[in-house]
Every structure is written in structure tokens, then in C-alpha cells.
Amino acid sequence: MKKFRFAFLASAAVLCASTAAHAEDLVFTLKNGTNSVLNNFYASPTGVDSWEDDIFGRQALGPGEEMEITVADGRSVCRYDMRFEFQGEDLDTTTDTQDLCEMGSYTIHE
């Protein structure tokens, strides 16, 4: 019985820890308001000197499309620097800084 109780408590602790980690995830909708394909999207907390990994991975966001973005970096910050890289030479790489906690969505424009 003691082993069962210990296993139950350990399971409950893991469940609580994983729930807390999900609470830190930052979720918003990214909309491509340009006429170009958005190939890469990077977001790093303001003040970090390097870009995190490409959030899109192998995906891209076409003109007029939108995608739900989850920044699951475990941080409890809201201000992020963002970097947008487009396909071809129609648009240059663009950067911006926003408080993503206050925004339910973000639209990149030309």
C-alpha cells in the first residue's frame, strides 16, 4: 500500500509540474498580411542577444494565411523580439518587438 501511495504522489507531482510548464506557454495567432511567403519566424525575449530556433520549422505561411503560434520556452516574459524572413527578394527581413501577452494576434504587413 505504501508503494502505491508513493507512486500516486509521484504521478501527481509530475502532472502538476507539467501543467505548470504549459501555463508558461505563450500562444497567439500570426497572420501574414503581405503578398510574400513567410518562410522563417524567430522570436526571442527582449534582451537576449541571439535568435531562438525557427518556430516554423519546415512550415511556411503564405500571403493572407494565419497560424497559431506557441512559444513554449518555459519563460514567463511577454516582450519578444521577432524576426521574419520572406521567400525570394520581394521583402527584406523584418524585425519588430511586441508584448505578445497583450495581443491575441499579430499581423505582419509590408
Exposed, middle or buried: residue 70 (CB in 10 Å: 0-12, 13-18, 19+)? exposed
Total domains present in the chain: 1
15: in domain: no
From edge to edge, which strands make up the β-sheet containing 94-99? 38-45, 79-86, 94-99
2: in domain: no
Q: 64: domain range? A: 25-108
Residue corresponding to grid cell 527584406: 92
Alpha carbon distances (Å) from 78 to 4, 6, 37, 45, 75: 41, 37, 26, 8, 9
94: in domain: yes
pLDDT band at 103 (very low <50, low <70, confident <90, very high): confident
In this predicted structure, the answer to whether residue 28 has a pLDDT above a threshold of 80 is: yes
4: in domain: no
**Global confidence as pTM:** 0.74
11: in domain: no
In this predicted structure, the answer to whether residue 83 has a pLDDT above a threshold of 50 is: yes
Assign residue 35 the CATH number of its domain. Answer: 2.60.40
16: in domain: no
Q: What is the pLDDT of residue 16?
A: 46
3: in domain: no
pLDDT band at 66 (very low <50, low <70, confident <90, very high): very high
Q: What is the pLDDT of residue 78?
A: 92
79: in domain: yes
